[in-house]
């Protein structure tokens, strides 16, 4: 008998049969391993999609076929970059599916009472009336100025991409006010960007190279995956926090995540934390901040602190900014970068104003150059400058806004509690981080997504499942309450109750 195996030509003799089969098998195994890893990081989840595994194949075919085809002008589809082809796929995260679904069928008390209620988008509409009043009284003056004629050169012509000086000054004052006056922010350490989204991306570009990673405590804001990963090629490594600790960061988990990443050969360049945290709403203690600084120094890595909710505190705990600690003590400032923005604390997401506040001159100068891709339009900067400089308005706004958030939070949490749904302890932000693990069946991500689906399609409310926030424990949901009014709450509770009851009866 004569068996011919793939490597027969190379491996001869009696052992040839064995080695000739073994070696190709081993090669295949590695190839497969390679492709698998490739795909899983490609962010497109469905394996049969032509993005991951077959992209090499299609490329091969194309180069050989192109020359034949081109002459008759009938060519297959033109290639787009691998980033574009993965982005062109429909959204697969429930977070974005939910948002899309709401935009198709939004609830309206009068026009669409059976529409979906949006509890997934983090927006604060509680104090829109204050903003509205200010703008309608001052818009004219802030755009046109005190003179009768409008200074066209201040708004129409090219301005520094990283923000107008006056605007930076106003923003830095506003930041100190928001943080209770305990810190001074230096306007020259500020780069303004079109929203905190681009601020985060820009920092990731500057702090890490492709293939490097940032540690991030879970559960985290679902947008981080897009902001950090998409274009920079930087990876996020989760630090798992648990309900037993009220989802606050622990030293052990941090060390563990870092060591594990290092074992895998991944270079960790920094820690990305949100403080107050999104979605949980807890604050980092002063001790934890000190510890993080120590840790970052020991490992020689950066800290990105997303403090975009700093002014939306409703609890009694006091918020401590990284800037405050760096102000008072002699730490290595170069490694700390703060993200801020007007979308949350001033409820102006439509204005797209984000802030990078860094002590590192290299990072600042790189970010200033990158800001040409994400600058804020000049008329809006003028508007923001005069709004933030109106101290009386700002003080009043901060006070009223906090009270309103507190009021609606307390009410909402109490009503959820009546349904038997408990929330994690929180003192800031726009969310309830609610434990519905008692309602899911099975106790896994699948059960969680089933429940989410019921909320979205039966109860018609869009909330964010914990898995979208990379929470390690199934059954937690992020519910944003700041788009509501007090009158909406009974309706929502009623819709939730229906789901709760069907879950309980089926169990």
- The residues in 87-116 that bind other proteins, with binding defined as CB under 8 A, are 87-88
Nearer to other proteins, 328 or 362 (CB): 362
**What tokens does 250 get?**
């622990």
β-strand 476-480 against 431-435: which pairing, if any?
antiparallel
CB of 113 to other proteins, least distance (A): 17
Binding mask 441-480 for other proteins (x = CB under 8 A): ----------------------------------------
Q: Is 344 among the catalytic positions?
A: yes
Contacts (CB under 8 A) with other proteins, residues 30-49 = 30-31, 33-35, 37-38, 41
Contacts (CB under 8 A) with other proteins, residues 67-86 = 70-71, 73, 75, 77-85
What is the dihedral angle through the alpha carbons of 139, 140, 143, 149, rounded to the nearest 10 degrees?
180
**Angle in degrees, CA 15, 16, 22, rounded to 5:** 95
Task: From the candidates 168, 299, 344, 402, give the one annotated as an active-site residue.
Answer: 344
Among 155, 216, 421, 436, binds other proteins (CB under 8 A): 155
CB of 294 to other proteins, least distance (A): 9
* DSSP letter assigned to residue 271: E
State the DSSP string of 205-267: HHH--TT-EEEEEES--TTHIIIIITTT--EEEEEE--GGGTT---HHHHHHHHHHHHHTTPP
Among 297, 318, 443, 504, binds other proteins (CB under 8 A): 297
**What tokens does 183 get?**
């810190």
Q: Is 308 among the catalytic positions?
A: yes
Task: From the candidates 220, 221, 340, 431, give the one annotated as an active-site residue.
Answer: 221
Asked if 298 is part of the footprint of other proteins (rule: CB under 8 A), the reply reads yes
Contacts (CB under 8 A) with other proteins, residues 169-228 = 194-195, 197-198, 201, 205-212, 226-227
Nearer to other proteins, 24 or 442 (CB): 24
Task: From the candidates 225, 235, 306, 435, give the one annotated as an active-site residue.
Answer: 306
CB of 450 to other proteins, least distance (A): 27
Residue 506 class from Cβ within 10 Å (0-12 exposed, 13-18 middle, 19+ buried)?
exposed
Contacts of residue 403, Cβ cutoff 8 Å, sequence gap at least 6: none
What are phi and psi for residue 178, nearest 5 degrees? -60, -35
Contacts (CB under 8 A) with other proteins, residues 338-397 = 347-353, 360, 362-363, 365-366, 369-370, 372-380, 383
β-strand 117-118 against 461-462: which pairing, if any?
parallel
Spatial contact of 454 and 499, defined as CB atoms under 8 Å apart: yes
Instruction: Identify whether 492 is preceded by a cis peptide bond (ω within 30 of 0).
Output: no
Among 1, 3, 13, 146, binds other proteins (CB under 8 A): 13
**What tokens does 500 get?**
């709760």
CB of 415 to other proteins, least distance (A): 24
Q: Is 318 among the catalytic positions?
A: no
Binding mask 303-342 for other proteins (x = CB under 8 A): -----------------------------x-xx-------
State the DSSP string of 326-386: HHHS---GGGEEEEEESTTTT--GGG--EEEEES-HHHHHHHHHHGGGSPPPHHHHHHHHH
Spatial contact of 233 and 265, defined as CB atoms under 8 Å apart: no
Contacts (CB under 8 A) with other proteins, residues 130-149 = 131-132, 135-136, 139-140, 143-144, 149
CB of 226 to other proteins, least distance (A): 7
Task: From the candidates 116, 190, 308, 496, give the one annotated as an active-site residue.
Answer: 308
* Catalytically annotated residues: 221, 306, 308, 344
């Amino acid at each position: 008998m004569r068996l011919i195996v793939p490597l027969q030509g190379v491996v001869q003799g009696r052992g040839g049969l064995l080695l000739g089969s073994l070696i190709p098998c081993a090669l295949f195994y590695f190839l497969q391993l390679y492709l698998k890893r490739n795909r899983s990081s490609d962010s497109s989840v469905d394996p049969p999609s032509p993005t991951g595994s077959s992209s090499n194949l299609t490329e091969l075919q194309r180069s050989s076929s192109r020359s034949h085809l081109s002459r008759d002008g009938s060519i297959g589809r033109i290639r787009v970059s691998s980033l574009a082809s993965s982005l062109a796929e429909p959204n697969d995260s429930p977070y974005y599916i939910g948002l899309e679904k709401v935009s198709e069928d939004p609830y309206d008390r009068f026009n669409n009472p059976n529409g979906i209620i949006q509890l997934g988008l983090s927006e604060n509409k509680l104090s829109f009336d204050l903003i509205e009043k200010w703008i309608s009284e001052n818009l004219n003056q802030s755009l046109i100025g005190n003179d009768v004629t409008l200074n066209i050169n201040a708004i129409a012509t090219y301005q520094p991409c990283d923000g107008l000086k006056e605007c930076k000054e106003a923003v830095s004052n506003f930041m100190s006010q928001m943080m209770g006056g305990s810190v001074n922010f230096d306007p020259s350490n500020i780069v303004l960007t079109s929203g905190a989204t681009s601020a985060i991306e820009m920092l990731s570009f500057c702090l890490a190279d492709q293939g490097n990673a940032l540690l991030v405590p879970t559960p985290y804001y679902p947008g981080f995956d897009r902001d950090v990963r998409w274009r920079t090629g930087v990876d996020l490594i989760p630090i798992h926090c648990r309900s037993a600790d009220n989802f606050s960061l622990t030293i052990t988990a941090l060390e563990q995540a870092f060591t594990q990443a290092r074992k895998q050969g991944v270079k960790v360049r920094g820690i990305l934390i949100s403080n107050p945290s999104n979605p949980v709403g807890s604050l980092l203690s002063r001790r934890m901040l000190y510890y993080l600084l120590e840790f970052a120094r020991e490992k020689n890595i950066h800290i990105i602190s997303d403090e975009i909710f700093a002014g939306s505190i409703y609890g009694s705990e006091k918020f401590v900014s990284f800037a405050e600690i760096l102000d008072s003590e002699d730490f290595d400032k170069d490694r700390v970068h703060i993200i801020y923005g007007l979308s949350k604390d001033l409820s102006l997401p439509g204005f797209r104003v984000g802030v990078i506040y860094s002590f590192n001159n290299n990072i600042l100068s790189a970010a200033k150059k990158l800001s040409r891709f994400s600058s804020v339009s000049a008329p809006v900067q003028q508007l923001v400058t005069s709004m933030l400089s109106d101290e009386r308005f700002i003080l009043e706004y901060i006070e009223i806004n906090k009270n309103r958030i507190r009021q609606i939070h307390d009410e909402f949490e109490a009503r959820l509690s009546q349904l038997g749904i408990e929330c994690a302890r929180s003192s800031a932000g726009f969310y309830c981080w609610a434990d519905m693990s008692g309602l899911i069946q099975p106790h896994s991500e699948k059960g969680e997504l089933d429940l989410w689906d019921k909320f979205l399609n039966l109860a018609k409310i869009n909330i964010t499942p914990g898995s979208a926030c990379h929470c390690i424990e199934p059954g937690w949901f992020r519910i944003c309450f700041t788009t509501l009014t007090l009158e909406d709450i009974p309706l929502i509770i009623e819709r939730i109750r229906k789901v709760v009851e069907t879950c309980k009866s089926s169990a």
